[in-house]
Chain A
Amino acid sequence: MRLIQETDFGTPASRSEKTVTLTIDGFEVTVPEGTSVMRASAEAGIKVPKLCATDMVDAFGSCRLCLVEIEGRNGTPSSCTTPVADGMVVHTQTGKLKDIRRGVMELYISDHPLDCLTCAANGDCELQDMAGAVGLRDVRYGYEGDNHVTARQSDQPNMRWMPKDESNPYFTYDPSKCIVCSRCVRACEEVQGTFALTIEGRGFDSRVSPGMHEDFLASECVSCGACVQACPTATLTEKSIIEIGQPEHSVVTTCAYCGVGCSFKAEMRGEELVRMMPYKDGKANRGHSCVKGRFAYGYANHKDRILNPMIRETIDQPWREVSWEEAMSFTATRMRGLQETYGKDSIGVITSSRCTNEETFLVQKLARAVFRNNNTDTCARVCHSPTGYGLGQAFGTSAGTQDFDSVEHTDVVIVIGANPTDGHPVFGSRLKKRLREGAKLIVIDPRRIDLVRSPHIAAAHHLPLKPGTNVAVLTSLAHVIVTEGLMDEAFIRERCDWDEFQDYAEFVADPRHSPEETEAITGVPAKELRAAARLFATGGNGAVYYGLGITEHSQGSTAVMALANLAMMTGNIGRNGVGVNPLRGQNNVQGSCDMGSFPHELPGYRHVKLPEVRAIFESLWGVEIDSEPGLRIPNMLDAAVDGTFKGIYIQGEDILQSDPDTHHVSAGLAAMECVIVHDLFLNETANYAHVFLPGSTFLEKDGTFTNAERRINRVRKVMSPKNGYADWEVTQLLANAMGANWNYTHPSQVMDEIAATTPSFAGVTYDLLEEKGSVQWPCNEAHPEGSPIMHVDGFVRGKGKFIVTEYVATDERTGPRFPLLLTTGRILSQYNVGAQTRRTANVAWHDEDRLEIHPHDAEQRGIRDGDYVRLASRAGETSLRALITDRVAPGVVYTTFHHPGTQANVITTDYSDWATNCPEYKVTAVQVTPSNGPTEWQVEYEEQARQARRILQAEPAE
């Protein structure tokens, strides 16, 4: 193993298809037109000295080190800013260039500390490298004059010196080491798109400044790490590098946070993780990262992490730490006993969208082949199940149609029910980059998310709809497109079912769907909606990106179909820059759905009723598979309350916190006799568990995650599991304890089994992933290298299907008792229920959930900013502090659900999507009143949780 060093070509690649040929230092080089002389040299293997250039940002030409001589041209142009030309003859090393470079380096070093040996960047410092490259031997100017280096000068405080800024929990800013190359400023602008940094002052006074001479934490900085990555010196340095030192080897792996699926180099020293560096060849993130993937991995070593299996007879007892053998035999005996007493259908599993494909495959196999029922469900039930159903119906595949690169070719983007800059930050940055290039944006969201307006980005249209009216708005958009004749008739005739379209067109053309009619329901001004529809239909490549704000509704599946209709009627399917793109919440939601986690579907979305599909698995597994679909999560809980469902194995999901109507979930869990929680931490669900099996982190196992663009990315083990076993091994132990005879020794064998049984994965092997880096399914004989864009020559199901999308208002309505609508979301620094991010320094940004409320609603209720308020719905009540803001419209309140103390899902109701039971998290009628502290439920729950988390200290050995 070695430290992966990616070549820095100095300037970004040119996209031109025309090539030019030039001569550099006697070598002939052919590169695309528009390439810089610096990049052409690098491609030929010639390193021109440089400091201010790096290929993540555009050329800047400020450091004056990369000068070259070009025959027939005057002077010494900088190679980073000079484009290549046919027949150009370049010399990168001449006597004149050597003198200039050495002189420039002398000036740099005259205002730079000479503490290389004790410097954190020692071994990874471009300034040091360049001093070596240009042969710097002496600094004639000395170090006595004006400088930024020393705190005191001639016994006086040095006014130019600035102390280190250590406010950010993950990196430091040491102005004394800054060479003002602007790489950080440009990375923040061009790559991240936040514009949090600038160069303040001028000339010798110039320094990098976050915000208005603020510290990093107080500035607009979102801690994505791009500036730290760009910095050629120790000015911006990860604190982990300062504490540990430089890494010695690295392994490419995949982030385990959101559905973007960024590739990272896990940079290691022995088994210690030194830092996570975004991987340039990662096709989802292209070398960018966010605060979570880049920095928030500290939970893996958090003191709360449980490393030994634990059991207890009943949930009022304290936990007892036991050996793996004892835990397995206890569990197997109980689960088999339950099946004997209550029937084989009395137990089930929940697979995890956080675990690998291989692990998920094994958990559903456990249910189907060992429990011998189909009682398997997954947390995707509560997020993107409508995506699977809706897109499956319309197009024939339950997945997004594009790769993330596609956004670079988009002209008009609809973002609906998603908040990419918080929830999917790396995609958010890529989208913002395209918007700055001129693409138009339509945001459909009850809340004014950052994309609506933030530096250099402004949505052309923001349609602030009332929560719960997605379908009405989308049908209205379709109404405008159809009645104004803006649809792409040629596309529809060729690719879709024309008769179905005519039925659909007749439906949407009905005047009751006109924006003027729906305005009363949706709250969206008709004029704005018409303008948005026209823009999307006529603005060029149109792409839709959506999130849980679409799916987590009683009409979630209908809304997904409405989006598919919009894309088809405008001809926006099957090429670069268009498509319908779900932004998946968790790292492997796509994968967990693909792997047959749902009770009615075997891997590859094939119904269990189909005998030919069952036969594939039956012959391989040597068991008969039940032909009846099993129970979904809500049904499992209902059955538990009824006394017919008694045992559950939950891998990597905290259903008590993440599923709706917490009271109902806790009643269901409490009624079971064997709840097995397999997780990193004693999560909220574990308060009701009888068996706790410690889990492993993504750093401790091999496997694959499938991201939102269907990309199968490798997860690679960089350290041994602290709990002893990777999660797939734990599942295998359990299966074998229950009588199975599984003999997997590596997840690649599980992938081989997946490939052998599932057509869309037929061509996937670990060897292929090793070779290609990643592939996007379907990957089979027809698409041996995977499919970046789907439905290119026709829909998978044959003809695209237009489905009538009648708006049916949710039963959850406001009334005099509950006059406000609550909707929920996510914040950048925290992730999901926060089990991981709350156990990292990310709490510096968000240490509690707040209720956003409009000033008008707040004033009516006598609520001031920061006051404790009671938030009550028909289902329950909780309390949290208010945040008064006009980002939400009057009548709408909003909160995040990252902290268990808040228990936002105590409030949410058990209404759910008509097709998939995906809960209606995004609409709850509530009342908000001033309060003076936590509610009774919160106090009781806190006490119950404290009791349930007790662990008996092991008896000292005799």
Chain B
Amino acid sequence: MTPPPTENDIRERTQGVLDDHAGLEGPLLPILHGLQEEFGYLPADALRIVADRLNISRAEVHGVASFYHDFREQPAGRHVVKICRAEACQSMGGDAIAEHAEGRFKIGFGETAPDGSVTLEAVYCLGLCACAPAAMVDGKVVGRLDEARIDAIAEEVRA
């Protein structure tokens, strides 16, 4: 696992992200996306710096950041597997697939493997209902999930 960034490191890289968004109107969400891209999550120290630069309170930044599930407070695993738990996928056997995935990855939804290899998350609709059940692995969508596909994904992320 990569060591967590130092305080100075966070400050510098956050200032960089903020500079990239200077002058933007309504900049908070783009900045949060930028930070997540930079760090893989939203370090609390970075949010304090954002609040200060935008002249808003840290409570406000926290309110926005915590509203969206995609913004992380902690670093994710090296791979992120998001399995759709919404209605269309459920109707195509998604629940069983999800259960299989939990067993195969040996972690529950919202958890990261102890070795940091993978994070398993639920999403609610990837817009891929025609190919349900669906998932997204490291940003790429995967359709027509079955146990074999899950196993293959597991092999890949554990590699």
Question: Chain A's nearest CB lies how many Å from the CB of B64?
Answer: 8
The CA of A199 and the CA of B60, in the complex, are separated in Å by 9
* CB pair A455 B60 closer than 8 Å: yes
* CB pair A212 B59 closer than 8 Å: yes
A503 within 8 A of B: no
The CA of A674 and the CA of B101, in the complex, are separated in Å by 89
* CB pair A453 B63 closer than 8 Å: no
The CA of A890 and the CA of B104, in the complex, are separated in Å by 62
B62 within 8 A of A: yes
A195/B55 contact (C-beta < 8 A), A201-B66, A202-B67, A212-B44 known: no
Contact residues, A134-159 vs B (CB, 8 A)? none
* CB pair B62 A212 closer than 8 Å: yes
Complex contacts, B137 vs chain A, CB 8 Å: none
Contact residues, A166-203 vs B (CB, 8 A)? 194-202
What 1/0 flags go to A432-460 for Cβ under 8 Å of B?
Answer: 00000000000000000000011111100
* CB pair A197 B59 closer than 8 Å: yes
* CB pair B67 A211 closer than 8 Å: no
The CA of A198 and the CA of B66, in the complex, are separated in Å by 10
What 1/0 flags go to B64-104 for Cβ under 8 Å of A?
Answer: 00111000000000000000000000000000000000000
* CB pair B55 A220 closer than 8 Å: no
* CB pair A195 B59 closer than 8 Å: yes
Closest to A205 in B: B66
B10 within 8 A of A: no
Contact of A196 among B55, B59, B61 (CB under 8 A): B59
Closest to B57 in A: A195
B47 within 8 A of A: yes
Complex contacts, B68 vs chain A, CB 8 Å: 202
B58 within 8 A of A: yes
Question: Chain B's nearest CB lies how many Å from the CB of A218?
Answer: 11
Complex contacts, B59 vs chain A, CB 8 Å: 195-198, 209-212, 219-220
A199/B63 contact (C-beta < 8 A), A212-B44, A212-B47 known: yes
B131 within 8 A of A: no
Closest to A203 in B: B67
Complex contacts, A194 vs chain B, CB 8 Å: 57
Complex contacts, B63 vs chain A, CB 8 Å: 198-200, 209
Complex contacts, B51 vs chain A, CB 8 Å: 455
Contact of B58 among A199, A220, A453, A456 (CB under 8 A): A220
A201/B58 contact (C-beta < 8 A), A212-B44, A212-B47 known: no
Complex contacts, A527 vs chain B, CB 8 Å: none
On chain A, the number of residues with a Cβ less than 8 Å from chain B's Cβ atoms is: 22
Most buried by B among A197, A211, A213: A211
On chain B, the number of residues with a Cβ less than 8 Å from chain A's Cβ atoms is: 16
Complex contacts, B47 vs chain A, CB 8 Å: 212
Complex contacts, A201 vs chain B, CB 8 Å: 66-67
The CA of A202 and the CA of B55, in the complex, are separated in Å by 24
The CA of A198 and the CA of B57, in the complex, are separated in Å by 9
Question: Chain A's nearest CB lies how many Å from the CB of B93?
Answer: 26
Complex contacts, B44 vs chain A, CB 8 Å: 212
Complex contacts, A197 vs chain B, CB 8 Å: 59
Question: Chain B's nearest CB lies how many Å from the CB of A802?
Answer: 39
Complex contacts, B66 vs chain A, CB 8 Å: 200-202, 209, 213
B29 within 8 A of A: no
B56 within 8 A of A: yes
A-B contacts, CB under 8 A, total: 56
* CB pair A195 B56 closer than 8 Å: yes
* CB pair A213 B62 closer than 8 Å: yes
Question: Chain B's nearest CB lies how many Å from the CB of A892?
Answer: 23
The CA of A195 and the CA of B58, in the complex, are separated in Å by 8
Complex contacts, B62 vs chain A, CB 8 Å: 198, 200, 209, 211-213
* CB pair A455 B67 closer than 8 Å: no
What 1/0 flags go to A195-233 for Cβ under 8 Å of B?
Answer: 111111110000001111100000110000000000000
A195/B60 contact (C-beta < 8 A), A212-B44, A453-B55, A455-B55 known: yes
Question: Chain B's nearest CB lies how many Å from the CB of A457?
Answer: 8
Complex contacts, A457 vs chain B, CB 8 Å: 55
Complex contacts, B67 vs chain A, CB 8 Å: 200-202
The CA of A530 and the CA of B91, in the complex, are separated in Å by 71
Question: Chain A's nearest CB lies how many Å from the CB of B75?
Answer: 18
Closest to A195 in B: B57
The CA of A212 and the CA of B42, in the complex, are separated in Å by 12
Complex contacts, A455 vs chain B, CB 8 Å: 51, 55-57, 60
* CB pair A458 B57 closer than 8 Å: no
Complex contacts, A195 vs chain B, CB 8 Å: 56-57, 59-60
Contact of B60 among A198, A213, A453 (CB under 8 A): A198
Most buried by A among B55, B58, B61: B58
* CB pair B55 A458 closer than 8 Å: yes
A456/B61 contact (C-beta < 8 A), A201-B66, A201-B67 known: no
Complex contacts, A202 vs chain B, CB 8 Å: 66-68
Most buried by A among B48, B55, B61, B66: B66
Closest to B44 in A: A212
* CB pair A211 B56 closer than 8 Å: no
Closest to B63 in A: A198
Contact residues, A768-805 vs B (CB, 8 A)? none
Complex contacts, A220 vs chain B, CB 8 Å: 57-59
The CA of A456 and the CA of B60, in the complex, are separated in Å by 11
Question: Chain B's nearest CB lies how many Å from the CB of A217?
Answer: 14
The CA of A197 and the CA of B62, in the complex, are separated in Å by 10
Complex contacts, A453 vs chain B, CB 8 Å: 55
* CB pair A212 B55 closer than 8 Å: no
Complex contacts, B56 vs chain A, CB 8 Å: 195, 455-456
Complex contacts, B48 vs chain A, CB 8 Å: 212
Question: Chain A's nearest CB lies how many Å from the CB of B121?
Answer: 15
Complex contacts, A212 vs chain B, CB 8 Å: 44, 47-48, 58-59, 61-62
- Chain A to chain B contacts (Cβ below 8 Å), 12 pairs: A195-B56, A196-B57, A196-B59, A198-B63, A209-B59, A209-B62, A212-B44, A213-B66, A220-B57, A220-B59, A455-B51, A455-B55
Having A194-B57, A212-B58, one finds 7 other A-B pairs with CB under 8 Å, namely A195-B60, A196-B57, A211-B59, A213-B66, A453-B55, A455-B55, A456-B56
What 8 A-B pairs are tightest by C-beta distance, nearest first?
A: A198-B63, A195-B57, A212-B62, A198-B59, A200-B66, A455-B57, A202-B67, A212-B58
